[in-house]
Structure formats: C-alpha cells, structure tokens
Amino acid sequence: AQKVTQAQTEISVVEKEDVTLDCVYETRDTTYYLFWYKQPPSGELVFLIRRNSFDEQNEISGRYSWNFQKSTSSFNFTITASQVVDSAVYFCALSEQTSNTGKLIFGQGTTLQVKP
Amino acid sequence: SAVISQKPSRDICQRGTSLTIQCQVDSQVTMMFWYRQQPGQSLTLIATANQGSEATYESGFVIDKFPISRPNLTFSTLTVSNMSPEDSSIYLCSVIRDLPYNEQFFGPGTRLTVL
C-alpha cells in the first residue's frame, strides 16, 4: 500500500537558519512521482517540485533543494537561509504511475515557523 | 501551470443544507480532482471528476453526499449535500494538464463552515 510519512509535525527556526523537512514514502510501484507543496496561511496549495522515480539527481532552485534517495525511500526538502515568508505548512505527496489515476497521496504535513 | 478559480472562496452554511462549489480552469485539462482538507489535517482525495461520465469516488466518499459534475474539459462542480458540522473543511479542486507528467495544480480552495 502507498503511504507518505512526514514525521516532523512542527519545526521552528530563526530566520537565516537552514532547515530540512523529512519525507519517507512507501510504494510497490517501480514508477512513481514525488511532490512537494507549500500551503501558506492563505490556504492555497503551491506546487514546488515534481520528481519521478527514475531521476535521483538532487535538485536546487534558489534557496530550495531536494534530496531524493530511493535506497531509503526518502525525498527530503531543505530550505537554506530561511526567511519569515517561508512560514507555511509543507506537504510531501506520492503519485503512483502504474495505475495512472493521477491520485496524490499526501503526508500529514510539516508546519514550519520561521521567526525573525 | 494552470490558472484555476473556485467559487465561492468561503461560505458559512446551516446544517442540513447543500452547497455547490465551482471550479473553472483557464484551458482544457486532462484530469480534474476534488480534495477535502479538514481543519489541521492533510488533504484527502474525494473523487476524480470524469468528463461526460460519473465521477470516480474514493473509499469513504459517496455520490449521494458529494455529487460531482464535469460537463467539459475546463469546468467541474462539487456539491456537499445535507451538510453537518463535520463537513466543515477546505475543499480544493486540482487539475493535471498532461499525462503522464502528473504535475498537479490546485485551486485556491473553498473554506466551508457548517453551523
């Protein structure tokens, strides 16, 4: 069965600190996609990244970076030099390709608070 | 990406009534979905809105409670029927423009409070 676990419920950091959000997933599919979304207090879900299971290269986008490791079934998200505007709930999600339904399985989310 | 709008953005409703939420996309998309996010919780898929046919519901969700329409490739509605306070949630529609890339984008959500 597919499952996404974000063990960190809440994280609080001071501005300019680096912070890593953990995501561990379970799936029997060999082909799947992993996602990160940001949900600021306004409630809208903002797409951050999609990674397919065949691409284990790490990705960097500005202050954001993602570390995908199939060996440990993890897809962790690091924010470098955090800012107050990074305060939000972050969701990791999984989509299995075999069924091709597009269905997303979400983790429970990690609430990040960045203090000035 | 896709520009997705939802109406209403929020509503306060009385127990026993129904509310229809609209989702409009700026261009044709392959797939449309409806998710529910209960207070302080993660997102749960309610159903896949199928164009021209009945929606595909996830376990725990039924058509009588959450009827869904998708008359074309850019529009869908979700009705929350016979509401109770437990239905108080954010309801979000999402779309996938092209398979198999599966980039899924979400609308701004509808915040529903049932009294």
- The per-residue pLDDT for B99 is 67
Which residue of chain B comes nearest to A52, CA vs CA? B101
pLDDT at B86 over 80: yes
SS3 A84: helix
Under the banding of pLDDT at 50, 70 and 90, the label for residue B98 is confident
The predicted pLDDT at position B17 comes to: 97
Question: Does B33 contact chain A (CB < 8 Å)?
Answer: yes
- Residue from B44, B58, B106, B110 to probe the interface with A (highest A Cβ count within 10 Å): B106
pLDDT tens by residue, B7-63: 999 999 999 999 999 999 999 988 899 999 999 999 999 999 988 888 999 999 999
Tell if the CB–CB gap between B48 and A91 is shorter than 8 Å.
Answer: no
Task: Give A91's contacts in chain B (Cβ within 8 Å).
Answer: 42-43
Predicted confidence (pLDDT) per residue in A8-18, tens digit: 999 999 999 99
With contacts defined as CB-CB under 8 Å, which chain B residues touch A106?
42-44
Token pair of B110 as six digits: 């509808």
Type of residue numbered A48: L
Q: Grade residue A59 by pLDDT with cuts at 50, 70 and 90.
A: confident
Q: Which residue has the tokens 């690091």?
A: A78
B2–A contact, CB cutoff 8 A: no
Has residue B75 got a pLDDT over 90?
yes
Query: Nearest C-alpha of chain B: how many angstroms from A13?
Result: 21
- The β-bridge partners of A52 are A33
3-state percent breakdown (helix, strand, coil) of chain B, nearest 5: 5, 50, 45
pLDDT at B101 over 70: no
For residues B88 and B49, what is the distance between their CA atoms, to the nearest angstrom?
Answer: 21
Average pLDDT score, chain A: 92
Task: Look at residue B100 in the predicted model and tell me its pLDDT.
Answer: 63
Angle ∠(B69,B104,B66) on CA atoms, nearest 5: 25
